[in-house]
Structure 1
Amino acid sequence: MLNNKSSLKRRLQIVELVRKRGEVSVDELSQAFDVSSVTIRSDLTYLEQQRYLLRSFGKARYLAQKSGDDILVPASDAAIRKASETVLARFAAEQVVDSEAVMLGAGEIVHKMIPFLADRTNLSLLVQDVSVAQTVQRFLHCEVLLTGGQLEHGSTVMTGPDAEAAVSRRPIDLCVLQASGVDRDGNLLTADSALARVAQAARRAARRTIVVAFQPVLDERSGIVFASAKEIDTLLIDDGIDPPTMETVMHKGLQLQRRDTGILEFRAS
């Protein structure tokens, strides 16, 4: 019987099973995943809408993907993503201890850490995102400093030489950064070069580095390198990632330390 921890994971497994066999019936899928045919039909409806397969006469048929598409990483439901990001944020917050100087980079997962830090004492936070600083003031009683830097195109995230200098000259016990992807050499990627430069400066200055990511894409074209997996201490990602991404991470200096609540925690070996 196949593992059925979550609807998202089951859907990923369904796509892979249909891809391998070419065509699978609803009854076969129901038995394989130990769920009702109603649940399977709901899964197939979702996957057909996302154009990962076709439904026909009680069966699911594989739909060939366009070049460059990754069949194992469908666009997940917004609610599933929000829930996974919140759990990732909680796990990251658990690694922050009292009296630490912490640099918080840009990203929604990093932002969601703030309420989980409410019981920490004597923290000193250096933040890159103005909206994060505003959330800190709502939930925490601690020192909070902005990196300074440039705000472009209505963004709340500060970048540029001033931001890079700010993280370089301050003592940082821990920096928490968010990745958008991973390349095949095990490098962690972020959205653009300005974000990458600030992240690089923070990683170099910090004693420890945690990187968080929701379904990071295994694709050299999806961002700019800010760190190698060998250069960080902990990587927290959801277990909805595809097997090639997981293998890449494990072959580049990080070992799977914990699998819990749909979250994978990798640590430096």
Structure 2
Amino acid sequence: MVLPVLANKNSLHRRLRIVELVRKRGEVSVDELATAFDVSSVTIRSDLNYLEQQRYLIRAFGKARYVTQRPGENLLAAVPSSATRQAADMAIARMAADFIDDHASAFIGAGLITHKLLPLLADRANLALTLNDIAMVPTVQRFMRCELRLTGGSLDDDSTVLLGPDAERSLSALSLDLVVLEASGIDREGNLLCTDPRLAGVFKAALKNAKRGVVVAFQPTLQGEGEAFCHVSRLGGLVLDDAIDPPTLDLILKAGLDVHRREEGILEFCSK
């Protein structure tokens, strides 16, 4: 991809990186971009205006969305994201499953990706799994032969996730080899975030009594919204798609995690 030469090389470099980041994530807010590139929102809006004029992006409701030109048409169409998301989720789940060995006692926290890793554990021997999402139980029963527990806890209307003090207490009583949790975001201090504070409480209780923690995420938000449940420096592993900005990557590496494996669009970090 070539953009017209600009007088300011820094602006050119930033705009190229903006396009690449938005292409990978599909849609990114102005605030996220301003934080990612350490510039003002005014500067980002100027960049987006230019990139929209060049037909690389579409701006809508404070966000930038990547677009592509369909052959033979003069219309801008959003890049399909559902197939990409499903493929990324499975690749992340596959890497996360490799952390779980035979004979392990593991807590698998509620989440879309964590649910998808369960069938990938079908060949593990003598697993003891603890779950806090009732919807995961049929998947375990269909694909696995293992010891299965559910945490205590309460359910909200139309929810299958067990939350609250009872769930936290039941996890506090367990000795866990590993927990696998799903994050929705990461803040600038390196804290992994969960949108539901009650679920974050359950995750904290699980981590407290686990020998090792692994976190998965698809395009975690780069702002400080949500409840923190763990700092990346406490993790044994982190698996996420590669649509992360350079400052976030630097933060993860400085926290003591190294890139261990790379697949198409997916990164796996492990503690040193």
Alignment deviations for residues 213-261 of structure 1 (CA, whole Å, 9 cap, x no partner): 001111002x100000111110000112232322222222322222123
Alignment deviations for residues 92-149 of structure 1 (CA, whole Å, 9 cap, x no partner): 1111111110100010000001110010111000001001112101110111110020
1:85 aligns with 2:89: yes
Aligned counterpart for 2:240 among listed residues 233, 237, 241: 237
Name which of structure 1's ranges 117-126 and 249-258 shifts more when overlaid on structure 2.
249-258
Contact 2:238–2:269 (8 Å) recurs in 1: yes
Change over 3 Å in CA distance of 1:75–1:110 after alignment to 2: farther
What fraction of aligned residue pairs are identical, expressed as a percent?
A: 43
Change over 3 Å in CA distance of 1:227–1:123 after alignment to 2: same
Aligned-partner Cα distance in 1 for 2:17–2:255: 32
Contact 2:115–2:136 (8 Å) recurs in 1: yes
Q: Hey, what does 2:52 align to over in structure 1?
A: 54
State the Cα RMSD in Å: 3.1
Contact 2:128–2:147 (8 Å) recurs in 1: yes
Aligned counterpart for 1:166 among listed residues 154, 166, 170: 170
Contact 1:18–1:60 (8 Å) recurs in 2: no
Q: Hey, what does 1:215 align to over in structure 2?
A: 219
Residue 268 of structure 1 deviates from its aligned partner by 1.7
Q: Hey, what does 1:35 align to over in structure 2?
A: none
Residue 172 of structure 1 deviates from its aligned partner by 0.5
Contact 1:188–1:226 (8 Å) recurs in 2: yes
1:194 aligns with 2:194: no
Flag structure 1 segments of 5+ consecutive residues without an equivalent: 3-15, 25-42
Q: Hey, what does 2:70 align to over in structure 1?
A: none
Change over 3 Å in CA distance of 1:76–1:183 after alignment to 2: farther
User: How many corresponding residue pairs?
Assistant: 226
1:108 aligned partner, one-letter code: L
Change over 3 Å in CA distance of 1:150–1:239 after alignment to 2: same
Residue 17 of structure 1 deviates from its aligned partner by 6.3
Contact 1:18–1:61 (8 Å) recurs in 2: no
Change over 3 Å in CA distance of 1:229–1:63 after alignment to 2: same
1:201 aligned partner, one-letter code: A
1:267 aligns with 2:262: no
Contact 1:148–1:166 (8 Å) recurs in 2: yes
Residue 66 of structure 1 deviates from its aligned partner by 7.0
Aligned-partner Cα distance in 2 for 1:184–1:76: 29
Residue 154 of structure 1 deviates from its aligned partner by 1.1
Aligned counterpart for 1:139 among listed residues 139, 143, 155: 143
Change over 3 Å in CA distance of 1:62–1:171 after alignment to 2: closer
Aligned-partner Cα distance in 2 for 1:90–1:178: 14
2:260 aligned partner, one-letter code: Q
Q: TM-score, normalised by structure 1?
A: 0.75
Aligned-partner Cα distance in 1 for 2:99–2:270: 12
Contact 1:185–1:252 (8 Å) recurs in 2: no
Residue 262 of structure 1 deviates from its aligned partner by 2.1
Q: Hey, what does 1:5 align to over in structure 2?
A: none
2:52 aligned partner, one-letter code: L
Change over 3 Å in CA distance of 1:21–1:150 after alignment to 2: closer
Aligned counterpart for 1:19 among listed residues 15, 30, 45: 15
Query: 3-state DSSP class of the match of 1:60?
Result: coil
Contact 1:188–1:229 (8 Å) recurs in 2: yes
1:235 aligned partner, one-letter code: L
Aligned counterpart for 1:181 among listed residues 182, 185, 189: 185
